[in-house]
Structure 1
């Protein structure tokens, strides 16, 4: 255990937090707000998509009443660090038992705790103690038994204020990327509004539609990138959880086709509607639940990706999805999915706009990565008492 400043101590999280009250919503006919794991954005660390549910329809995991200033820590897939600070808007909601609900006592500042559970040291503790290969998880007990560095309360407030300011700059950089994404979407919708449209199936505008190998990759510490749904965003890549396979596996997993620049990789199961385009110099293979779409010469690839994003949005493609527990769209249905196709010159004009936006997004992502690195460095120094 590392040495702390003299006025600091190590404390178990459970010793400086309380547990939330429990309630079974199924005892009521009223509607309630439900916060499950999917409601927390692991990137922004916010509750972004709570559900409104009738008490009679409440899932068995809906049990924990949350309050403003609580800190939620997802106990499943701790490497993704799905944590959130409960805002005033979510006060009184019911959270899944898949969270540790941490309610600070008077000796612990809530924002200080919120920043600690995002720290590499906390994440490493959770990942190290997680059990389950395909669905790694920790228990609430493990979260509460873990140690955090505890300075005097006034010092906690000072550290929390500094880290709030740093993450505010980080959030602003992230929002700029979202604005660019929205601009691309607006340009696409304008094409649909202003131009005569034909409707063609995906297979008619693709040189190939290739399903992933139906086998679980054997992960390695380093090697060749193997893509997962977690790496896909809405037209961009996410490398927060970067996985690798060895050369032999890469060769095996690319027998059907290598990934080429301009190919579009999309998810067909679970989080459907996320995708990204293969960039020059990128070498990777497909993990499970992914599909590789290679645009034909007859379509602008930037336009094709935006059309796929549009038609595979969950609200538009829901009627084509199958499966009781894990919703998915099969490859046959994907090939038959109709896309709105304007004349080629219109596609190319859109593609030119989209490429400029992509260049701006790439620059924005680089700035965000730089700010994120600085924020993490500041965070590490803060919890060593070096600020």
Structure 2
């Protein structure tokens, strides 16, 4: 199955006509391998809103930077962050949860072989820097097990990631 058959890219775009009083903004450099460094809080009319702050993202959405995939600027939105906008430098993948588990798709998309393949595509791009298009992500083919199996795999990998993050935090505290 193509990834584009179990998820859609860049479904929701922010318009200034929506007049949000508060925007939470994530740029591509503020997330690496699923770890978010900073989400900016911006107030329209007070703060300058970056022109790239246009893609809406919600819980369960997968973010994947379209520039230099090998830099691993990707993640999945886990916490409910109201009024979240991400850079147009991301492809936002919204998974159809009736046929696929977002975490299964996230871990599939972020495995080394897929990133290497996307990087190879990026290096063939005609832009001034290696980049991919949303359609390159949509065209990724994967074998999709039944939904319950996907959920078990996604949940297990998520627990392992959390354990790794906790161990890193403990190690950082020991070194301090």
Question: Measured at CA, do residues 134 and 158 of structure 1 come closer, stay the same or move farther in structure 2, by a change above 3 Å?
Answer: same
1:161: which partner in 2?
155
Aligned to 1:78: 69
Map of 1:1-387 to 2, 5 A cutoff?
Answer: 11-19=1-9, 20-25=11-16, 28=19, 30-40=21-31, 42-43=32-33, 45-56=34-45, 57-105=48-96, 106-130=98-122, 131=125, 135-181=129-175, 183=176
Q: TM-score, normalised by structure 1?
A: 0.41
Deviation by residue 1:259-300 (Cα, 9 ceiling, x = unmatched): xxxxxxxxxxxxxxxxxxxxxxxxxxxxxxxxxxxxxxxxxx
SS of the counterpart of 1:58? coil
Q: Which runs of 4+ in 1 moved over 6 A?
A: none
Give distance in 2, aligned partners of 1:180 and 1:28: 46
Deviations 1:343-377, CA, capped at 9 Å, x for gaps: xxxxxxxxxxxxxxxxxxxxxxxxxxxxxxxxxxx
Q: Which residue of 2 aligns with 1:240?
A: none
Deviation at 1:35, TM superposition (A): 1.1
Helix, strand or coil at the partner of 2:54 = strand
- Give a deviation string over 1:328-349, Cα, whole Å, max 9, x none: xxxxxxxxxxxxxxxxxxxxxx
Q: Which has the higher contact order (CA 8 A, sep 6+)?
A: 2
Give CA-to-partner distance per residue, 1:2-24, whole Å, 9 cap, x none.
xxxxxxxxx21111113431113
Secondary structure, counterpart of 1:178 in structure 2: helix
How many angstroms apart in 1 are the aligned matches of 2:94 and 2:134?
13
**Structure with larger Rg:** 1
2:143 is paired with a residue whose SS is: strand
TM-score normalized with structure 2 length: 0.85
Say how many residue pairs are matched: 170
* Structure 1 gaps, min length 5: 1-10, 184-387
- Indicate conservation of the 8 Å contact 1:73/1:83, yes or no: yes
1:112-169 CA deviation, whole Å, 9 max, x = no partner? Answer: 1121122112111211100368732111121111222211101101211221232233
Which runs of no fewer than 5 residues in structure 2 stay unpaired? none
Q: CA deviation at 1:26?
A: 7.3
Structure 2: how far apart are the matches of 1:116 and 1:91?
27
Q: What's the RMSD between the two structures over aligned residues?
A: 2.2
